[in-house]
Amino acid sequence: MKVLLLGSGGREHAFAWKFVQSEKLEKLYVAPGNAGTATIAENVAINPNDFEKIKEFVLEKGITMLVVGPEDPLVNGIHDFFLADEALNSIPVIGPEKLGAQLEGSKDFSKEFMFRHNIPTAKYKSITSENLQEGLTFLESLKAPYVLKADGLAAGKGVLIISDLKEAKHSLKEMINGMFGDASSTVVIEEFLAGIELSVFVLTDGKNYKTLAEAKDYKRIGEGDTGLNTGGMGAISPVPFATADFMKKVEDRVIVPTIDGLQKDNIPYKGFIFIGLMNIGGDPYVIEYNVRMGDPETEVIIPRIKSDLLELMEAVSKQELDTVHFEMDDRTVTTVMLVAGGYPEAYQKGKVITKLEEVEGSIVFHAGTTFSGKDVVTNGGRVISVSSYGDSMQSALDKSFKNAALINFEGKYYRKDIGFDLK
Ligand code: ATP
């Protein structure tokens, strides 16, 4: 197979790391990739949203599969673009079409989907300038804190959780008036769910599915889950509190109705579903769907997949996922993210990263890195994800922390308490 993978984060390095272990792989290109993917595949300087350039490249190189890492190209319709083009429509794309991608691209769409298929989730109301009064009344009917979400994609920043009713009403108006541009012209108001969060990852061909595993990520910049939100500071899989009983409920109440719902609604779907869940007293409630793998969760899930991921993806493309053997590693994998000083606010790029070659006992997944001459340098807020296997969560964490301390660049920061709440 000649594979083109879109994206440039730790998620894509983890995919690439797994793909190059497959006997099915003939050649792997990553667009645009990072310094990590450059060492195991060929990076190409194409923006994942530049569909015409992607087409040109795919035809020139005879690509036989497109794997889409981030959500943007999916929500923008890259899969539909391939299907609509005679020269491209026989090339399988891993990632849903635009309609399925609405599960992430529109919170209103995804809440309607969940209610239509009786999938447990928070009560909600979708509000625009047309029915603002209804929104204000709905807020009054809820208990604090109040959850306000921009309907569209807002780079993970479009959710406000507000403790004061007056302030919530004010923010609702501000959002509708363009606080997040067009993304918040519709606002989803939700009941607040109090519980502990985790995510479950599923690969589906739209009919059959494989539940890969669950993971827990750490979103805040500060230890003890404090401070600003980030793209993710670390992750752990499996999650100790996700017992067999809980995972059975997730399968019966969430995964099966989701796959059945896609079929009933005639939503074709070939790709990953990331289900964000709240565990409330042992019962799962869906917070959100994402239509791709998470980052840094991919850096703990992919190392646990024992099966050939390209074989699984090939089966997805043929809608034969039920025929493929699939196995996960029982061991725990943890990851600790090294970030640039100042992140998630202003930070510098171009800092030389050292000691990478001295790492032992962990897998180094590059995120925001690039080459400057022979040096690997920082090129983003989240820089490197240090993933490790362990027979216990603690033994995996010990390795991740040891190597996180070793790898160095000016301004390096990482959380030293990943997993603190699971011990
Ligand atoms: P992400 O960056 O996770 O993709 P997003 O912008 O898509 O974020 P959500 O995942 O829907 O938005 O919400 C972001 C976070 O806000 C959740 O991870 C969760 O911690 C919190 N949250 C969202 N909805 C609720 C809710 N109903 N009750 C409690 N907390 C919530």
Which candidate, 340, 333, 301, 355, places its Cα nearest to that of 400? 333
The CA distance from 153 to 158, in Å, is 7
How high is the ipTM of this complex? 0.94
The CA distance from 306 to 333, in Å, is 13
Q: Locate 71 and state its tokens.
A: 């959500």
DSSP secondary structure, 195-231, as one string = SEEEEEEEEE-SS-EEEEEEEEE--EEETTTEEEE-S
Which candidate, 261, 271, 260, 277, places its Cα nearest to that of 98? 271
Does 151 contact ligand 1 (Cβ within 6 A)? Answer: no
The CA distance from 212 to 363, in Å, is 20
Q: Locate 265 and state its tokens.
A: 């609604």
Q: What are phi and psi of 393, to 5 degrees?
A: -60, -40
pLDDT value at residue 49: 98
One-letter amino acid of 401: F
Q: What percent of the chain has pLDDT over 90?
A: 98
> Which residue in the block uniquely carries the two structure tokens 């074709």?
268
Which candidate, 275, 269, 271, places its Cα nearest to that of 289? 275
CATH number of 124-190: 3.30.1490.20
Does 287 contact ligand 1 (Cβ within 6 A)? Answer: yes
Q: What is the pLDDT of residues 322-357, one digit of tens each?
A: 999 999 999 999 999 999 999 999 999 999 999 999
Does 225 contact ligand 1 (Cβ within 6 A)? Answer: no
pLDDT value at residue 135: 97
Q: What is the pLDDT of residues 237-269, one digit of tens each?
A: 999 999 999 999 999 999 999 999 999 999 999
Q: What is the pLDDT of residues 95-125, one digit of tens each?
A: 999 999 999 999 999 999 999 999 999 999 9
Q: What is the pLDDT of residues 364-415, one digit of tens each?
A: 999 999 999 999 999 999 999 999 999 999 999 999 999 999 999 999 999 9
Topology, domain 2-97: Rossmann fold (3.40.50)
Start-to-end C-alpha separation, the chain: 43
Which residue's alpha carbon is nearest to atom 4 within ligand 1?
Answer: 156
Q: Residue 381: beta bridge partners?
A: none
Does 181 contact ligand 1 (Cβ within 6 A)? Answer: no
CA dist 229 → 160, 222, 233 (Å): 12, 9, 9
55 contacts 61 by C-beta, under 8 angstroms: no
Q: What percent of the chain has pLDDT over 70?
A: 100
Q: What is the pLDDT of residues 145-169, one digit of tens each?
A: 999 999 999 877 899 999 999 999 9
Domains of the chain: which residue ranges? 2-97, 124-190
User: Given the CA of residue 231, which atom of ligand 1 is nearest to it?
Assistant: 2
CA dihedral 85, 264, 310, 233 (to 10 degrees): 100
HSE-CB at 237 with a 13 A cutoff on CA atoms is 26
Strands 65-68 and 2-7: parallel
